[in-house]
């Protein structure tokens, strides 16, 4: 089936509206007025990031507080550790020598 050019041209003229300029400008303005989902996402990205950082910081503080309260028990455990054991190694003021490390690592029967 071929195009009926004569009828097509007549219909085109009959359906032709005024210049498209104003129409195009109207659509562009509407596009600007109604942001897309990614633009909404972009708008919320910074506040969202700030909120996430704040939450992480608060969670860190809370965890830190919880850990420091249990550290006392941990220190006591280490202090009570037998000389030459892993606990004593952690409680020591100075880094251990290789001989001490090997002694601790050796399985004790």
Partner 1 sequence: MKHVEDAVLATRSQAGHRDAFGELVSRYAGAARRAARAVLLDDDEADDAAQDGFLSAWRNISRFDPARPFGPWLLRIVANAATDRLRRRRVRRAEVLGPTLSSSDPSPAKETERLALGDALRAALAELPERQRTAVVLFDVEGYSAAEIGRALKIPEGTVRSDVFHARRALRRLLADWHDEGGTDAAGS
Which residue ranges make up the site for partner 1 (CB under 8 A)? 1, 3-8, 10-17, 20, 23-24, 26-28, 30-32, 34, 36, 38-39
**In the complex, what is the shortest distance from the CB of residue 22 to partner 1, in angstroms, rounded to a whole number?**
9
**In the complex, what is the shortest distance from the CB of residue 60 to partner 1, in angstroms, rounded to a whole number?**
35
- Name the residue nearer to partner 1 (CB basis): 38 or 94: 38
What's the CA angle centered on 68, arms 93 and 58, to 5 degrees?
A: 130
**In the complex, what is the shortest distance from the CB of residue 32 to partner 1, in angstroms, rounded to a whole number?**
7
**In the complex, what is the shortest distance from the CB of residue 48 to partner 1, in angstroms, rounded to a whole number?**
18
DSSP state of 103: H
- Name the residue nearer to partner 1 (CB basis): 7 or 73: 7
- Name the residue nearer to partner 1 (CB basis): 22 or 105: 22
- Name the residue nearer to partner 1 (CB basis): 8 or 86: 8
Chain length of the chain: 109
Token digits for 57? 């910081």
Give the helix/strand (H/E) hosting 28: helix 21-33
Candidates 90, 84, 87; CA nearest to 102 is: 84
Candidates 62, 63, 94, 90; CA nearest to 75 is: 90
């Amino acid at each position: 089936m071929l195009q009926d050019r004569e009828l097509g041209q007549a219909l085109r003229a009959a359906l032709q509206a005024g210049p498209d300029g104003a129409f195009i400008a109207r659509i562009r303005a509407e596009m600007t007025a109604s942001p897309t989902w990614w633009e909404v996402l972009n708008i919320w990205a910074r506040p969202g990031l700030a909120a996430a950082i704040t939450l992480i910081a608060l969670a860190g503080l809370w965890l830190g507080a919880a850990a420091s309260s249990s550290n006392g028990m941990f220190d006591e455990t280490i202090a009570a550790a037998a000389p030459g054991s892993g606990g004593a190694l952690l409680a020591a003021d100075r880094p251990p020598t290789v001989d001490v490390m090997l002694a601790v690592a050796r399985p004790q029967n």
